[in-house]
Amino acid sequence: MDIRTAQKLAWENKLAKGFNTTDTAMEFGLLTAEVGEAFTAWRKRLPGIGEELADVFLYLVAVAEMNDIDLGEEVARKIDKNTHRIYERDVHGTLIRTSEE
């Protein structure tokens, strides 16, 4: 499933169920909580980390939808931008962005 379709379906579900569709700050808070749950599942090697990551995605696309952002387009744009960045390691071995083509 592509990101735009997932974003649309997630939004339609929120509308149908009467979930939050107007309070962006609350949605960011819930997104943060879901990231924490995903991290805990990963750290404790619990089953269901995939479902927790899906929850993160669903809250993320809700924030995008609340702000009239097509997340699929933004992800594609960001991947393209990242592919043109050049990195080099500093004396400590840390990657440092040195330029963008």
Q: Note the pLDDT tens digit of each residue in 11-26.
A: 999 999 999 999 999 9
41 and 15 within one domain? yes
What is the pLDDT averaged over residues 21-32?
Answer: 98
48 and 89 within one domain? no
The Cα-based distances of 24 to 30, 43, 66 in angstroms read 10, 28, 7
90 and 65 within one domain? no
49 and 32 within one domain? yes
83 and 43 within one domain? no
Q: How many domains are contained in the chain?
A: 2
Return the pLDDT at 16. Answer: 98
Helix then strand then coil, in percent of the chain rounded to 5, is: 65, 10, 25
d(CA 25, CA 31): 10
The per-residue pLDDT for range 35-70, each reduced to its tens digit, is 999 999 999 999 999 999 999 999 999 999 999 999
Residue 101 has pLDDT above 80, yes or no: no
Structural domain boundaries enclosing 81: 73-101
98 and 56 within one domain? no
99 and 60 within one domain? no
84 and 59 within one domain? no
Return the pLDDT at 67. Answer: 98
pTM, to two decimals: 0.87
Q: What does DSSP say about strands 95-100 and 85-89: parallel, antiparallel, or unpaired?
A: antiparallel
